[in-house]
């Protein structure tokens, strides 16, 4: 992904400061066993892991990662501690609205999954949340079962000024306190179309200023790039939430992301800062996952949420049913981890 976008191949930040091996040492990662091990999602079969499937059959092949861990004992790590159970009832609401951009230019690191599950978990506890789907793929819209076919009212129209964002926002079914501004594939054109418009990097910020809905949180789910859409998200938010996969290469490109945040902060949005890091897709079978988690915590300290999101087939199945895992299977490990992360986030308001 990064080379396709023309970024420099070297990543001094990630390697030197976070202690990652240089490209020549990549084989040294093999002793950790990552490359020897089948992926739990792969074991479930590519179709079962795909968010586009909608068949109930997938449930019969579901397997939480803990099962996998049992089968490959020799490489098992200490695993994940059970996350603290957040309180039932209403969670704390922030004194002022928090706008968080969920960004990481790597694809498939859990941005969308994180945005929709944190949002749903907060909404389940009387916190009012709006999710802006800013990825033309519309995965967040899918997870909320919100219409996002071509031509449906979407964030695209709000960005180009054809509609007010108020007319685009829809309530998410079965989840009071939760709203979504869906993305359609039209948004893919926005990266190019916005280039020539006035104040192209603050279109989303302006659109958000006009939102009449009274919400405590706005999560902006970014596409996997550092283009104009992500730039708009960074200008519109005050907080950046970075999901980091507990895998090799997870920190590749992080320096570019942090550089961009610094640039946006100095040039366009003084209020912007990286407020939150979430470790995702933790695979209990590999020591590497522990190592990444440890490195990230050493480097980012208290920015890292306590809860770590495990790799879980239930998490990947939920969007196929138009749901988040916290609504789809609240008792699953993945759902409990997202609930704990959401409570942690709310407690840091």
Q: Could you tell which of Mg ion, ligand ADP, none binds residue 105, using a CB distance below 5 to 8 A set by kind?
A: none
234 and 264 in contact (C-beta within 8 Å)?
Answer: yes
Residue 232 binds Mg ion (CB under 5 A): no
User: Which residue is closest to Mg ion by CB?
Assistant: 112
In angstroms, give the least distance from the CB of 51 to Mg ion.
10
In the list Mg ion, ligand ADP, none, the entry touching 280 (Cβ below 5 to 8 angstroms by class) is ligand ADP
Provide the minimum distance between the beta carbon of 113 and Mg ion in the complex, in angstroms, as a whole number: 8
Q: Should residue 225 be labelled a site residue for Mg ion when binding is judged by CB under 5 A?
A: no
Is the CB of 107 or the CB of 151 nearer to ligand ADP?
Answer: 107
Joined together, the tokens standing for residue 116 give: 């929709």
User: Which is closer to Mg ion, CB of 139 or CB of 327?
Assistant: 139
Place of tokens 């290469």: 249
The answer to the question of residue 113 lying near Mg ion (CB under 5 A) is no
Q: What number of other Cβ atoms are within 10 A of residue 112's Cβ?
A: 27
Nearer of residues 131 and 303 to Mg ion, judged by Cβ:
131
Name which position in 112, 154, 225, 324 contacts Mg ion (CB under 5 A): 112
Min. distance of Cβ 102 from ligand ADP in angstroms?
8
CA distance 172 to 143: 10
Cβ of residue 209: shortest distance to ligand ADP, in angstroms?
26
Q: Residues 56-95: x/- map of binding to Mg ion (CB under 5 A)?
A: ----------------------------------------
Which of residues 114, 139, 142, 332 is near Mg ion by CB under 5 A?
Answer: 139
Token pair for 216: 């405590």
Please give the backbone phi and psi of residue 74, each rounded to the nearest 5 degrees, phi first. Answer: -60, -30
In the complex, minimum distance from the CB of residue 280 to Mg ion, in angstroms, rounded to a whole number: 12
Which of the choices ligand ADP, Mg ion, none does residue 309 contact, using the CB cut-off of 5 to 8 A by kind? ligand ADP
The residue among 93 and 137 lying less far from ligand ADP, judged by its C-beta, is 137
Question: Which positions lie near ligand ADP, rule CB under 6 A?
Answer: 41, 51, 107-113, 139, 224, 280-281, 309, 311-312, 315-316, 319, 334
- Residue nearer to ligand ADP on the CB measure, 178 or 211: 178
The count of other CB atoms within 10 Å of the CB of residue 291 is 17
Number of Cβ atoms within 10 Å of the Cβ of 35: 13
Which of ligand ADP, Mg ion, none does residue 98 bind (CB under 5 to 8 Å by kind)?
Answer: none
Burial readout 65-86 (b: 16 or more C-beta within 10 A, e: otherwise): beebbeeeeebebeebeebeeb
User: Does residue number 114 form part of the binding site for Mg ion (CB under 5 A)?
Assistant: no
C-alpha–C-alpha distance, residues 285 and 69, integer Å? 5
- Candidates 345, 330, 327; CA nearest to 116 is 327
Q: Do residues 325 and 338 touch, judged by C-beta distance below 8 A?
A: yes
3-12's contacts with Cβ under 8 Å and 24+ in sequence apart are 5/105, 5/225, 5/226, 7/253, 7/256, 11/251, 11/252, 11/253, 11/254, 11/255, 11/256, 12/255
Q: Least separation, in Å, of the C-beta of 258 and Mg ion?
A: 20
In this complex, which beta carbon is closest to Mg ion, that of residue 80 or of residue 244?
Answer: 244
CB of 187 to Mg ion, least distance (A): 12
Whole-number Å distance between alpha carbons of 52 and 316: 10
Whether the CA torsion 277, 282, 284, 286 is positive or negative: it is: negative
Tell me which residues touch Mg ion (CB under 5 A).
Answer: 111-112, 135, 139
């Amino acid at each position: 992904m990064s080379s396709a976008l023309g970024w420099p191949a070297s990543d001094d930040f990630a390697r030197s400061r976070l202690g990652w091996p240089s490209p020549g040492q990549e084989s040294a990662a093999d002793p950790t066993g990552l490359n020897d091990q089948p992926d739990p999602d792969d074991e479930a079969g590519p179709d079962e892991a795909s968010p586009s499937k909608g068949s109930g059959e997938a449930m019969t092949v579901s397997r939480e990662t803990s099962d996998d861990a049992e089968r490959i004992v020799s490489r098992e790590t200490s695993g994940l501690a059970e996350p603290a159970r957040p309180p039932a009832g209403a969670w704390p609401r922030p004194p002022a609205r928090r706008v968080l951009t969920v960004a990481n230019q790597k694809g498939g690191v859990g941005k969308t999954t994180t945005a929709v599950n944190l949002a749903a978990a907060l909404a389940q506890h009387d916190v009012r949340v709006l999710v802006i789907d800013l990825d033309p793929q519309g995965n967040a819209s899918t997870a909320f079962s919100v219409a996002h076919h071509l031509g449906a009212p979407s964030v695209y129209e709000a960005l180009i000024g054809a509609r007010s964002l108020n007319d685009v926002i829809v309530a998410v079914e079965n989840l009071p306190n939760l709203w979504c501004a869906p993305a359609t594939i039209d948004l893919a054109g926005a990266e190019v179309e916005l280039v020539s418009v006035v104040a192209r990097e603050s279109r989303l910020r302006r659109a958000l200023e006009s939102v009449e809905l009274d919400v405590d949180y706005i999560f902006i789910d970014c596409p996997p790039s550092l283009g104009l859409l992500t730039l708009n998200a960074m200008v519109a938010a005050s907080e950046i939430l970075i999901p980091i996969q507990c895998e090799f290469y997870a920190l590749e490109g992080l320096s570019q992301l942090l550089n961009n945040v610094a640039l946006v902060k100095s040039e366009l949005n003084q209020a912007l800062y990286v407020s939150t890091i979430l470790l995702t897709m933790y695979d209990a079978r590999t020591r590497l996952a522990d190592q990444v988690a440890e490195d990230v915590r050493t480097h980012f300290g208290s920015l890292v949420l306590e809860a770590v999101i495990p790799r879980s087939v239930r998490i990947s199945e939920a969007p196929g049913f138009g749901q988040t895992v916290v609504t789809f299977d609240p008792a699953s490990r993945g759902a409990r981890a997202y609930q704990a992360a959401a409570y942690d986030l709310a407690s840091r308001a």
